[in-house]
Structure 1
């Protein structure tokens, strides 16, 4: 390499000279270049400029931890492969091989609990499995020398280490590469208990309440950055199909990353106590405890509290999170009067008396209060005393009434009453002029018949989010009043068969829709047999060009694709069912430049193959097709970013050509295919042929693809996923 990297006088070359020399050296050569652990798009620009496109069949392989960088490097003619975690069987085999040196060794009974715990925490990531295997092997060797025989190993599960050194060294670059403000937001997540699953919106509101972020948009950008770097991942079983989509899924942080963040908090001088790590009373010294999180009985935390019998020390606490079966006697809530964030989601011991205690404790700084998924049944009138409250989450509780006094919370911006028996909102809600987000009802199931909203809600002119409104318990006048909320960006409604045939309701919704010029998300849950065809007649000037999500579920049907979809450059999510699909409609979908998720129900039997060509669908990553007869053909080069393909099929005849599906092996980036059908069609020839065709084409594909049939993964060797480190992207380009 010296002839490339050194100048004539023996000095190191500058960047431009190095680029020229590399280009000249490789100009007439066929080359294979491997670039490992790329972090920045700008670095790729420099590297790629030095690699000549000489049409000699050269290859470039890039690995990166950042998904956006992976896509950037293959934006022209490259392919991206996201390495998946190991499946359950391979994870066990790797751990067994690493601990005992053989895959044929039988696990000792006393280590099976340790094995299961290790695999649960490692989540199929080989690096973590190997590291924990080294630690476990070291523990067992020590016991062997202490007892003289493996038969004498103690039965207790070993105490798991806090954080292995090699894990810290590997995780640090991901943390260090983040902007400073993102690091602060990430450190707050160290308070999460192990295995904690969270909603994106609730986390962002905690960030804002704590003053860690100035706006929702800024915090959302940070959250997306953490997803891009795989710091935050979907909270799904890694060995099940990924049926969740980003809009409604829950998220989690890996166990070892939580450990790493807890240590970083110490380095930053924060004093905290959580389920991941609780400083001893001696280690705390004179530090002021700011963040406190507990989700299970903790002896160290109990000791810390008992040492500080004078709870004035905890007047410095600004964030308190309690969940699980934690003893309520340890936390006299009325003493934590300077809290800003109080998160009691899932606290099994929380009662109505505790709710009254909070409201009577003069927590004048409290901005965020969540009693989600607790046993509380009543919201006291004294809730009005929490005068600084901005977010109140009572979802998934048995609270059946919102007292009118709650409407005196003049700063309240977000109220969540979803999955509660609340049937009626008080008339005084019109006074809550600061309200930005109102979440009610039980989307789609109609358990309580919907929550009645007073017509005066039209006074909330700054409302951004309203979901889910059951129009069956609302007047047409209210639907008209909704049109006055010109700042509305997200709306979810249920639409019954009666209203879809009521002309006044149709005209009211049609008129309101034209006024929501800033609307970004519209979800309509239609009753059985309901038709929303009247929405197809919107004029171009009567729609929101900012629309990012359009979703019609339940029995809602369109005769054909709404023509006003054309030109919606921001539309990224579409879920819709149509009674026919003509070439022009497919062309509209194909040319939506931002479309990432398409769930398309075809309520008809195609008479010819639906051909997906090479052009269009440039950003589509998830495609869900619901059709009894999935006569689809994917042309070569089609849907180059598609990673997930789902088909919901029914009993159907075999097509004239003898094949119901073709071209899955032309989907260059697909990594998962899922097929769903009713078990009563198990012997249907069309269903059998569809599954056989999918398996055959997947077996011929160059990439490893997971195939799920009714939620069960194929275990044939043709479909076993290639093992790798979760989140590392690989890209290959042809030069």
Structure 2
């Protein structure tokens, strides 16, 4: 393993000419604005970490890194991958942006990555018409994080998603208004083994396949437009341990937990639910393993919740 810290462009350029056999290159937060083309000569390189490096693009020579397994460009200024990068057929993990840093946008990729047949992680990719079709070739994916999903692309996206039977983590973000809802109702095969799910998509109710998410451990729903109570469905998920509901336009004013619901829930976060006014008494047997409860920016709920917390409760 070789780690580079605080190198100038010229010093790194000189160094790369000497490191023909290096396999791991960690340049996290190096004070660079550009990478030398010589990086493409590292034919044995398997791991390239560029997190926090203030580069705007990758040199075209990265397409020569035929043995690369992991490429990480999170928290950089890279917004577009160079042509030819989808020829890296041994790539396993491609980290483009993180969910935590989602406000900085996503990364575009020409060609859709159809040759990434061994790819297991694709994080922070921007949706487009070609990409969502090419995703059907990525049947080894275990983690997918995709942004800027549109109604027009969602049909092809779901068809591609159904081929990803190994998927364990799925994050889909959309900026579409409610009248351009994302079509996710048809999913079945790709969701049954999901352990983590994050959705920021316009939808009026939870799709039916939510009821079969028996492996789901963590769920994050935010900026949805739910008009139906999600708790009867979510409360029956046998493995759900972490639930976050944030900034939803859910119109129901009542927080009502079903009897015996949420058998494994340990962490519940309710954020920015402005319409919620009433927290109903939790039935005996509901949330028996709850450990952490976080409520923020729910001004109409707070007073009544305070009274509920002061009353005795036995799960």
| TM-score, normalised by the number of residues in structure 1 | 0.39
Higher helix share: 1
CA distance in 2, matches of 1:494, 1:391: 25
CA distance in 2, matches of 1:515, 1:642: 35
CA distance in 2, matches of 1:519, 1:532: 23
CA distance in 2, matches of 1:587, 1:465: 32
Cα deviation digits, residues 207-253 of structure 1 (max 9, x gap): xxxxxxxxxxxxxxxxxxxxxxxxxxxxxxxxxxxxxxxxxxxxxxx
- Closer, same or farther: CA 342–458 of 1 in aligned 2, 3 Å: same
CA distance in 1, matches of 2:251, 2:297: 11
Q: Alpha-carbon deviation of 1:350? A: 2.8
Map of 1:188-199 to 2, 5 A cutoff? Answer: none
Q: Does 1:622 align with 2:267?
A: yes
Are the equivalent residues in 2 in contact too, given 1:427–1:456 (CA < 8 A)? no
CA distance in 2, matches of 1:399, 1:647: 38
For 2:158, what is the secondary structure of its paired residue? helix
Give the number of the structure with larger relative contact order, counting CA–CA contacts within 8 Å between residues 6 or more apart. Answer: 1
Q: Does 1:561 align with 2:212?
A: no
Q: Does 1:606 align with 2:247?
A: no
- Closer, same or farther: CA 409–607 of 1 in aligned 2, 3 Å: closer
CA distance in 2, matches of 1:527, 1:539: 21
Are the equivalent residues in 2 in contact too, given 1:362–1:385 (CA < 8 A)? no
Partner of 1:573 in structure 2? 218
For 2:257, what is the secondary structure of its paired residue? strand
- Choose 1 or 2 for highest CA Rg: 1
CA distance in 1, matches of 2:86, 2:187: 32
Partner of 2:298 in structure 1? 650
* RMSD (Å), alpha carbons: 2.5
Q: Alpha-carbon deviation of 1:609? A: 5.1
Match of 1:534 among 180, 183, 186: 183
| TM-score, normalised by the number of residues in structure 2 | 0.87
Cα deviation digits, residues 626-651 of structure 1 (max 9, x gap): 42225233223321211111123434
Match of 1:544 among 175, 191, 197: 191
For 1:392, what is the secondary structure of its paired residue? strand
Cα deviation digits, residues 274-305 of structure 1 (max 9, x gap): xxxxxxxxxxxxxxxxxxxxxxxxxxxxxxxx
Q: Does 1:589 align with 2:234?
A: yes
Q: Alpha-carbon deviation of 1:622? A: 0.7
Are the equivalent residues in 1 in contact too, given 2:176–2:202 (CA < 8 A)? no
Partner of 2:30 in structure 1? 374
Partner of 2:107 in structure 1? 451
- Closer, same or farther: CA 452–604 of 1 in aligned 2, 3 Å: closer
- Closer, same or farther: CA 694–376 of 1 in aligned 2, 3 Å: farther
Partner of 1:487 in structure 2? 140
Q: Unpaired runs of 5+ in structure 1? A: 1-340, 653-685, 703-735
Are the equivalent residues in 2 in contact too, given 1:598–1:623 (CA < 8 A)? yes
CA distance in 2, matches of 1:403, 1:642: 49
Are the equivalent residues in 2 in contact too, given 1:518–1:544 (CA < 8 A)? no
CA distance in 1, matches of 2:114, 2:147: 18
Q: Unpaired runs of 5+ in structure 2? A: none
Q: Alpha-carbon deviation of 1:367? A: 2.4
For 2:262, what is the secondary structure of its paired residue? coil
Are the equivalent residues in 1 in contact too, given 2:261–2:285 (CA < 8 A)? no
Q: Alpha-carbon deviation of 1:355? A: 2.1
Are the equivalent residues in 2 in contact too, given 1:355–1:376 (CA < 8 A)? no
The alignment covers a number of residue pairs equal to: 306
Partner of 1:304 in structure 2? none
CA distance in 2, matches of 1:630, 1:594: 28
Q: Alpha-carbon deviation of 1:486? A: 0.8
Map of 1:73-88 to 2, 5 A cutoff? Answer: none
Q: Does 1:356 align with 2:13?
A: yes
CA distance in 2, matches of 1:469, 1:463: 13
Q: Alpha-carbon deviation of 1:414? A: 0.6
